[in-house]
Structure 1
Amino acid sequence: MGRKTLFALAFDHSTTYYELESILLRAFNAAIDDLLIVDSDFKNQIIPQLLAAQTRVKQKEIERKGKQLCDELHKLNPRREDATKFEDKCIEILKYLFDNNTDLTLWEKQPTTDDGLHRFDLLCKIISSYQNNFWTELANDFHTRYVLFEFKNYTDPIKQGQIYTTEKYLFLTALRSACFIIARNGADDNAVKAAKGALKEAGKLIVILTAKDICEMLELKDKGDEPSTILINRIDEMLITLTR
Structure 2
Amino acid sequence: MIDDYSKLKDELKSLYPEDYETKDYDSLFTGASGGIESAEKLIREKKGGNLLQRLKGCSPGNSDWKTFEDVCLDLVKLTFENNEFFEAEAMPQLPNKYVPLDEKGTRKDITIPLVTKKRMDLDKAIIWDEFRSEPYDCKYLIFDAKNYNGPIKDKEIYQMFHYLNPKKGRIGIIFSRKSSVDESGKAALRRIKDDNYIIFVLTDDDVIKWIDCYTRDGSVRTYFRTLLTIYDSSF
TM-score, scaled relative to structure 1: 0.68
Retained in 1: the 8 A contact 2:41–2:218?
Answer: no
Query: What is the deviation of 1:106?
Result: 4.4
Match of 1:126 among 114, 125, 135: 114
Determine the structure 2 residue equivalent to 1:14. Answer: none
Determine the structure 2 residue equivalent to 1:109. Answer: 90
Retained in 2: the 8 A contact 1:217–1:228?
Answer: no
Query: What is the deviation of 1:189?
Result: 3.1
Determine the structure 2 residue equivalent to 1:218. Answer: 211
1:93 and 1:207 map into 2 onto residues whose CA distance is: 16
1:207 and 1:49 map into 2 onto residues whose CA distance is: 40
Matched residue SS, 2:133 = helix
CA 1:80–1:131 in 2, change beyond 3 Å: closer, same or farther?
Answer: farther
Determine the structure 1 residue equivalent to 2:229. Answer: 236
> Where do 1:173-188 residues align within 5 Å?
174-185=167-178, 186-188=180-182
Query: What is the deviation of 1:194?
Result: 1.2
Which amino acid counterpart does residue 128 of structure 2 have in structure 1?
W
Retained in 2: the 8 A contact 1:127–1:136?
Answer: no
Matched residue SS, 1:147 = strand
In terms of Rg, which structure is larger? 1
1:48 and 1:80 map into 2 onto residues whose CA distance is: 45
CA 1:165–1:87 in 2, change beyond 3 Å: closer, same or farther?
Answer: same
1:190 and 2:171 aligned? no
Give per-residue Cα distances to partners, 1:32-77, cap 9 Å, x unaligned. Answer: xxxxxxxxxxxxxxx9893349544543332111112112111100
Query: What is the deviation of 1:111?
Result: 4.1
Retained in 1: the 8 A contact 2:157–2:189?
Answer: yes
CA 1:224–1:190 in 2, change beyond 3 Å: closer, same or farther?
Answer: same
Match of 2:62 among 54, 62, 80: 80
2:137 and 2:163 map into 1 onto residues whose CA distance is: 16
1:134 and 1:64 map into 2 onto residues whose CA distance is: 26
Give per-residue Cα distances to partners, 1:130-176, cap 9 Å, x unaligned. Answer: 3582222111140121121011111112112111221112122x323
Which protein, 1 or 2, shows the higher relative CO under an 8 Å CA cutoff with sep ≥ 6? 2
1:169 and 1:48 map into 2 onto residues whose CA distance is: 46
Q: Note the residue ranges of structure 2 that are not aligned, 5 or more in a row.
A: 1-26, 99-107
TM-score, scaled relative to structure 2: 0.71
Query: What is the aligned-residue identity percentage?
Result: 22
Give per-residue Cα distances to partners, 1:169-202, cap 9 Å, x unaligned. Answer: 2122x323210111112222331231121121x3
2:228 and 2:67 map into 1 onto residues whose CA distance is: 27
Which amino acid counterpart does residue 110 of structure 1 have in structure 2?
M
> Where do 1:15-30 residues align within 5 Å?
none
Which amino acid counterpart does residue 187 of structure 2 have in structure 1?
K
Retained in 2: the 8 A contact 1:67–1:219?
Answer: no
Retained in 2: the 8 A contact 1:199–1:205?
Answer: yes
Higher helix share: 1
CA 1:146–1:62 in 2, change beyond 3 Å: closer, same or farther?
Answer: closer
The two structures, once aligned, show a CA RMSD in angstroms of 2.7
Aligned length: 191
Determine the structure 2 residue equivalent to 1:147. Answer: 141
2:40 and 2:164 map into 1 onto residues whose CA distance is: 40
2:233 and 2:45 map into 1 onto residues whose CA distance is: 34
Matched residue SS, 1:158 = coil
Determine the structure 1 residue equivalent to 2:19. Answer: none
1:50 and 2:30 aligned? yes
